[in-house]
Structures are given as C-alpha cells and as structure tokens.
Amino acid sequence: MKRAFKYRFYPTDAQAAELLRTFGCVRKVYNMALAARTEAWARQERINYNRTSAMLTAWKKTEELAYLNEVSSVPLQQALRHLQVAFANFFGKRAKYPRFKSRKKSRKSAEYTTSAFRYQDERLTLAKMSEPLNIVWSRPLPKGSTPSTVTVSQDAAGRWFVSLLCEDPGVKPFPAADAAVGIDVGLGHLLTLSTGEKIANPMHERRDRARLAKAQRNLARKAKGDGANRIKARQKVARIHARITDRRRDHLHKLTTRLVRENQTLVIEDLTVRNMVKNRILARAISDAAWSEFRRMLEYKAAWYGREVIAVDRFFPSSKLCSHCGTLQEQMPLNIRTWTCKGCGITHDRDVNSAKNLLAVGLAATVCGAGVRPQRRVPGGQSATKQKISRREP
C-alpha cells in the first residue's frame, strides 16, 4: 500500500527562491499547455501528453521562454501529466473542464520523481539544489522504504511542506470485529452513534471567529495590490484559517481511526453536502462540521484496514421512522429533537433513532444485496413507502 507522508520543512533563502521559481514555471507550462489544448479542441483537434511534451521542448528553445531551462525539467513534465489526468477526468465525466492556474489563488506545488531527487538517511536533496532540505521528521518513514515521488508545496500562510510517497507495509487489515455502527451526522453534535453515544461538535471556526473577523477587517482596509502591508495582512488571515483547518483535520483523523478500528461495518447517510451549503443560514456551520471530509477519511481508512462502509440513500426517512416498531411519522420539523411514536408509545431521541435506523437498513443491504428496498407503513395503515438503499463499497 502506497502512502504519502507529509512533513514541514524550513528552506534556506536560496532554496526558497529556487522553489518559488519552479512553482512559477510549473504554473506557466500548465497554463500554456491548457491554452494549446483548448485552442486545438476548438479546431476539433485532439492534443495528448506527447504533443504537449514536444511543445515544451520547443518552448524552451525560444528566447522568451528560455528561463524554463533554469529549473528542473521533471516538475514541468509532471505538470503536463497532471493536465493529461485532468482532461481524462473531464472526458470521463468525473470532473469539470480544467481551469487555468492563478498566481495568487492556485496551490503552489511541484512534483519530483526519482530522477530529480536524492534521498538517503533522512536527507532529501532536490534537483538544482546543493544542500538537503531542513525537514522536521515528526514521524519516521516506514523502515526500508524509499520515496518514489516527492511533492513540495507552500500554503497560503507561507508554510513549506514536503510530501513523500512510498510503500507502507504497516497498512494491514485489522482483525475482524463483530461490531457494526450507524452514524448520523449533525450540527449540535458532530456524530450520533447507534449505540447512543454522542460526539460533541468542536466548532473550530466559531472558536476563532472573532480573531478571523478582525484580521479580515484589517485586510479589507489595505490598498489593493502587491504592497507589503497587504501581503502581511493576507498572510495573517491565512494563518488563522490554517490553524482552524489543522485542528479540524486532527480531530477528524482521530475520530475516523477510532471508528474504523472498533467496527467492522459502518453505515452513514449519503448526504449531498454541496447542495446543503446553499442554505445561507446553515452554510457556515455545515462547512465547519466538514461532513464530506469525515466521509472521505472514513472510506479510505476502511479500504486500508479491511472494513466496510455503507451509504444509505439520502431520501430514506431515518428521522421519521420508529426504530422499534417501524411506524413512519408524517412530519418531523428540525426543531423537534425528541418525539413519541404513535404506534408503540416509545419516546425517541431524534439523532439516536436516526442512527439506529441507518444501521438497520445498512445491515439489510449487506444481507440482501445492493438496491434492497425495505417497506415501511405510515400511520393509519396507508400505502407503504419505498425508499432505495444504495450501497457503497470502501
């Protein structure tokens, strides 16, 4: 199993200048290749990676673009490969049409393959550099492994990171477990489990909202442009955002690892977060909860460690359905957090009841196969309501 190990490093002035120059050249090559492929597409002509690689060779020979020879050629070639992948995803209807990279907004990064770096005894030296990078080895690489790809990046807060892709023999399936859990995500509580456990929502963005608002007001007062004061103010805002993001990611990593370790089957709801954040009242809270990131982490960790994640169709009435007798309530506004079933008289916590229903229908999908449609009767013996259950493999 290949894994990326990310570390922070502190470059010298010469290394920082070289990397920033490389980032600029990577962006330039990517944008020029994208423009060439777009123009060819308008002429109903296809240009592939090999054609753009030949174009790069020709560009380097021109006087205007001779500076491309000053940086390592490997990151430039990798930029063309990334563009090829972007077009493959577009034609495969997995992504939108590739966009041009912006000098201010796009991620600053460069990818080096084995021919463009040297790694030995925790000393990493990149092409065009005479000294190794000053990396903070917060954790060791897997014993005996050698990086196959190195990606250097700088975030908006000015921090430098290096990511090393290598084989990790330590990623092995956990011992089989008998436990299964239904997971209901929310805002009051980040997660509610079918066991009745509720996990608090840390609300990382809200904790720093006052500091962030002050920094953003300070940035708004600065004259637009590339002035030093505006750059400092923009980096201050970026550092606050980075602090929020780091805390949120750390919390989600610990939470998803624990859930995957303890349970063999994990059942979640297939929410369309992209549509939900269009709600102007709840958008900020939903974004802060990071439901999509939670699901992404849960799925790839389940794939690593031999667990199964099942996603239940978003239209399944998990909140309105009594987990004890199966009676379906007619309405269930969001402000109702506890309710009493008209069929059996049991009082339910809305979130716990939802998690129990998700677990039940997820296990039914496991036994009966994908696409099972369980039937539930509404009060008064009316016609049954059918809800589709979709199963996602890890």
HEC assignment per residue over 119-181: EECCEEEECCCCCCCCEECCCCCCCCCCCCEEEEEECCCCCEEEEEEEECCCCCCCCCCCCEE
Q: What is the mean pLDDT of residues 234-263?
A: 96
Amino acid at 363: L
Whether residue 250 sits in one domain with residue 132: no
Q: What percent of the chain has pLDDT over 90?
A: 71
Whether residue 244 sits in one domain with residue 105: no
Catalytic residue among 205, 288, 299, 351: 351
The pLDDT confidence band at residue 79, using thresholds 50, 70 and 90, is: very high
| Cα–Cα distance list, 181 to 178, 184, 308, 362 (Å) | 10, 10, 11, 9
Predicted pLDDT at 201 = 94
- Cα–Cα distance for residue pair 274/388, rounded to 1 Å: 21
Whether residue 215 sits in one domain with residue 142: no
Predicted pLDDT at 367 = 66
Whether residue 250 sits in one domain with residue 152: no
Catalytic residue among 18, 111, 184, 299: 184
The pLDDT confidence band at residue 368, using thresholds 50, 70 and 90, is: low
- Cα–Cα distance for residue pair 60/68, rounded to 1 Å: 6
Does the pLDDT of residue 372 top 60, yes or no? no
Q: Which of 93, 83, 17 is nearest to 47 (CA)?
A: 83
- Cα–Cα distance for residue pair 126/118, rounded to 1 Å: 6
Token duo for residue 199: 């996990």
Higher pLDDT among residues 39 and 342, named by residue: 39
As a residue count, the chain comes to: 394
Predicted pLDDT at 346 = 85
250 flagged as catalytic: no
155 flagged as catalytic: no
Does the pLDDT of residue 377 top 60, yes or no? no
The b-or-e profile of 139-148 (16+ CB within 10 A means b, else e) is: eebeeebebe
Amino acid at 378: V
- Cα–Cα distance for residue pair 37/31, rounded to 1 Å: 10
Domain for residue 212, yes or no? yes
- Cα–Cα distance for residue pair 24/154, rounded to 1 Å: 12
- Cα–Cα distance for residue pair 313/114, rounded to 1 Å: 44
Residue pLDDT, tens place only, 324-361? 888 888 888 888 888 888 888 888 888 999 999 999 98
- Cα–Cα distance for residue pair 304/105, rounded to 1 Å: 33
Largest CA distance in the chain: 82
What total number of domains does the chain contain? Answer: 2
For the chain, how far is it from start to end, CA to CA, in angstroms? 15
Domain for residue 314, yes or no? no
Domain for residue 344, yes or no? no
Instruction: Quote the radius of gyration of the chain (alpha carbons, Å).
Output: 26
Angle at 377 between CA 375 and CA 383, to 5 degrees: 95
Q: Which of 320, 324, 327, 311 is nearest to 361 (CA)?
A: 311
Domain for residue 337, yes or no? no
Task: Report the DSSP beta bridge partners of residue 251.
Answer: none
Amino acid at 86: A
Helix (H, G, I), strand (E, B), or coil: what is residue 264?
coil
Token duo for residue 232: 């400092």
Whether residue 208 sits in one domain with residue 157: no
Q: What is the mean pLDDT of residues 368-381?
A: 43
Angle at 170 between CA 165 and CA 176, to 5 degrees: 130
- Cα–Cα distance for residue pair 287/290, rounded to 1 Å: 5
Predicted pLDDT at 369 = 55
Does the pLDDT of residue 384 top 60, yes or no? no
Domain for residue 326, yes or no? no
Predicted pLDDT at 393 = 36
Whether residue 133 sits in one domain with residue 208: no
Domain for residue 131, yes or no? yes
Prediction pTM value: 0.84
Does the pLDDT of residue 381 top 70, yes or no? no
Domain that holds residue 124: 2-167
299 flagged as catalytic: no
Predicted pLDDT at 344 = 85
Whether residue 223 sits in one domain with residue 116: no
Whether residue 233 sits in one domain with residue 137: no
| Cα–Cα distance list, 325 to 337, 340, 345, 346, 375 (Å) | 19, 12, 10, 9, 13
Whether residue 152 sits in one domain with residue 207: no
What are the φ and ψ backbone dihedral angles of 8, each rounded to 5 degrees? -90, 145
Catalytic residue among 18, 205, 269, 308: 269
